[in-house]
Amino acid sequence: MTERAAEVSARPRARITGIVYLLYFLTAILGQLLVSRKLVFYGEVVNLISAAVYIAVTLLFYFLFKPVNRSVSLVAALFSLAGCGLMVLNLFHLATAYSPLIFFGPYCLLIGYLIFRSTFLPRILGVLMMLAGLGWLAFLSPTVAKHLSPYIQVVGILAEGLLMLWLLVKGVNEQRWKEQAGVLSGDNG
């Protein structure tokens, strides 16, 4: 299984991840735009599609970062899937007391850690993603969010946007990804 994973070309997989990540950004922005224009039904349908696309992003990231640390990648994926689930529940007004950021903050922290530990993506992307994760968690405090909201949003959008663009344009260093995937024998984490 490990040898087979190392044989799979990582660069196209990373670029596909970037494309799906871009699709998420576009659907999320469109959903918010529709809701703000009082087209709530259409906005919520698009937001539901956006959540489904983010589930795909989550699974793609899981497989992309599995060679770095299988356990951390799995925990990150579980946080993201829980956040997506809460997002969907909120769309149907079933869990409005909770913010999905309670899950997406740790998800970004863990993805940032995995990027930082990887040898196939620039470490600065990992640092930015960890800062984004801390920022998303700061939104859970209304006082902090009130004063820092614009800065937190800029860091989060910058981090996730740069990661998406890097994956689209450059993909990953395929040789280094394969080296880490080859080390996967055993648990690696």
Q: Which tens digits make up the pLDDT trace of 25-74? A: 999 999 999 988 999 999 999 999 999 999 999 999 999 999 999 999 99
**Does residue 82 lie in a domain region?**
yes
**Does residue 109 lie in a domain region?**
yes
**Does residue 187 lie in a domain region?**
no
**Does residue 122 lie in a domain region?**
yes
Q: Which tens digits make up the pLDDT trace of 85-111? A: 999 999 888 877 788 989 999 999 999
**Does residue 110 lie in a domain region?**
yes
Spatial distance between the Cα atoms of 55 and 74, rounded to a whole number of angstroms: 13
Geometric angle at alpha carbon 170, from 166 and 175, rounded to 5°: 120
Spatial distance between the Cα atoms of 122 and 25, rounded to a whole number of angstroms: 22
**Does residue 188 lie in a domain region?**
no
**Does residue 186 lie in a domain region?**
no
- Which domain does 91 fall in, by range? 2-181
Spatial distance between the Cα atoms of 163 and 125, rounded to a whole number of angstroms: 6
Radius of gyration of the chain from Cα atoms? 17
CA 182 vs CA 3, 15, 20, 89: distances in Å? 7, 21, 26, 39
Question: What's the domain count of the chain?
Answer: 1
pTM over 0.85: yes
**Does residue 189 lie in a domain region?**
no
Q: DSSP letters along 48-82, please?
A: HHHHHHHHHHHHHHHHHHTTT-HHHHHHHHHHHHH
Q: Which tens digits make up the pLDDT trace of 63-74? A: 999 999 999 999
